[in-house]
Amino acid sequence: MVYNIVNLQAATSTENLRALEEVKDFCTTDLGRGGKERWTYHMLPEAALDTELHRMSNATSSTFVDSVTFQPCAAYADLNQDRYSIEEWELPGGVWQFTAIYDGHCGHDTVNYVHKRLPSIVRTSLQVLLQSVPTTSLKPEFVSEVLCTAVRHLDQSIRSDLLDFLPHDRLTQMSDAQLNQHILHRYSEWNTISTRCTQGSTVLLALSDPLKKNVWILNLGDSIAVLGSRSFSGKWTATIINSVHNCHNRSESQRIRREHPESEQACVYDNRVLGYLAPTRALGDTWLKVPSVYTRRAFAPHLQDWLPPHQVAQYASRILTPPYISDLPEVYHHSLDVSQHELLLILSSDGLQDLYDNNDIQLSDQEMADRWVGLVGRHIHSATDMDLQSNLALRLLRDAVGGDNTELVSRNLTLEMEDKWMDDITILVQRFR
């Protein structure tokens, strides 16, 4: 056998120095996990951090809201599943402002559907209300009911699509061959329905009236809303508006246990609903709201890239008295007085608070809210339009990813890792003027 031998010249000193120069700003970390596995990240200069964070978070500003949405992991499977809305509606009596964060889980289909449909449903319902009730007679509970009904109507539409396609009594009577033929015959429709039913989205929205005298906050899931108020003395006060819908909230886990027989110990397991889902209330997740026969016979055999078979069997065995995930939101009304207090509203998906925990910053919920409002309050008037950090949501994001710790910020932005190292983060900061 004849081998071809290639002779390579040794690198010159200049080339060696150039190679070292190219890698001098790269570091490695074990992310505090211990063990031998390490990941590379790029140390960025301080001057580049805000520019890069601005780009990666798609930071934008409107006349009344600053926004960011952030997921640094570029892997397709881990693309950002958060969505948000910022809208102004010309309605009877003036311009209403609508903002919302939708935190999707298990895929993009349901959160995209919610993002597309919910604002228009709310707007149409609100317009009907305002046309039928004089502004002087508009009670806060009327608007609260509109918001609650809109969210539940949207969730019902997802469930209705499934039940219309495959009624329960028909499913229980069909043979496997008949079911397979039924799905194959209408596969495109089934694919849309089944993905929406096996994915989900939380919702946190704010609606303010034209005179900025009222704001309504609706929550379904584990995002958080914080109202900041500045007194004449200059002191900012933070008020957490909503309770969080997950199993770490004792009242939520107790509610779920009350709604199911005592024998169903796994209805809340490992701080998750049925041991599977973290939020206790959400849109979609229909497979956890209907009888288990849908999971065993329809979703598991006829939905690609869903759960492994052993997990399907495990979770399906726990679905005994559905629903386990609620679509009932909580709506909060706050009266505002912009003539007496400077006001701001922070909406964030749960990834923001999680990131502080990941960075070993242990704060109570109230301490976290105080930190956010204090930070935004300090900069609400100081930044110029030419300053990247005039975006108040970007200020919060910078604090969460590491603040003044250039090394930590660089690591969070540039880590070379196949799996995502932080949850999706979306922040909206609304100014009431």
Q: HSE of 315 in the Cβ direction (CA atoms, 13 Å)?
A: 25
What one-character DSSP code corresponds to residue 43? P
Give 124-140 pLDDT, tens digit per residue: 999 999 999 987 789 99
Residue 30: band (very low, low, confident or very high) from pLDDT cuts 50, 70, 90: confident
Separation between Cα atoms, residue 77 and residue 74, nearest integer Å? 9
pLDDT tens digits along 317-366: 999 999 999 999 999 999 998 887 899 999 999 999 999 988 778 899 99
Q: Please give the Cα distance from 368 to 388 (Å, whole number).
A: 24
Q: Which of 177-181, 206-210, 340-344 has the lowest mean pLDDT?
A: 340-344
Does 83 have pLDDT greater than 90?
A: yes
Q: What percentage of the chain carries pLDDT values higher than 70?
A: 93
Cα 135–Cα 334–Cα 218 angle in degrees, nearest 5: 95
Q: Give the pLDDT of residue 386.
A: 47
For residue 233, give the 3-state DSSP assignment.
Answer: coil
Please state, in angstroms and rounded to a whole number, the distance separating the CA atoms of residues 226 and 149: 24
HSE toward the beta carbon, residue 390, CA cutoff 13 A: 12
Please choose, from the candidates 401, 393, 398, the residue with its C-alpha nearest in 3D space to the C-alpha of residue 429.
393
Neighbouring residues of 135: CB distance < 8 A, sequence distance ≥ 6: 92, 93
35: Cα within 13 Å, side-chain hemisphere: 7
3-state SS, 139-185, equals CHHHHHHHHHHHHHHHHHHHHHHHHHHCCHHHHHHCCHHHHHHHHHH
Using CA atoms, how far residue 3 sits from 6, 7, 417, in Å, is 10, 13, 38
For residue 305, the one-letter residue type is D
Residue 237's contacts (CB-CB under 8 Å, 6 or more residues apart) are 228, 229, 230, 231, 373
Where helices occur in 3-76 by DSSP H, the ranges are: 13-23, 46-56
Structure-token pair, residue 416: 């070379």
Nearest Cα neighbor of 400 from 416, 423, 378, 384 is: 423
The predicted pLDDT at position 387 comes to: 56
Taken in order of first residue, the domains within the chain and their CATH numbers are: 81-346+428-432 (3.60.40.10)
Which pLDDT score is estimated for 347? 99
Segment 153-158 mean pLDDT: 99
Asked if residue 107 has pLDDT above 90, the reply is: yes
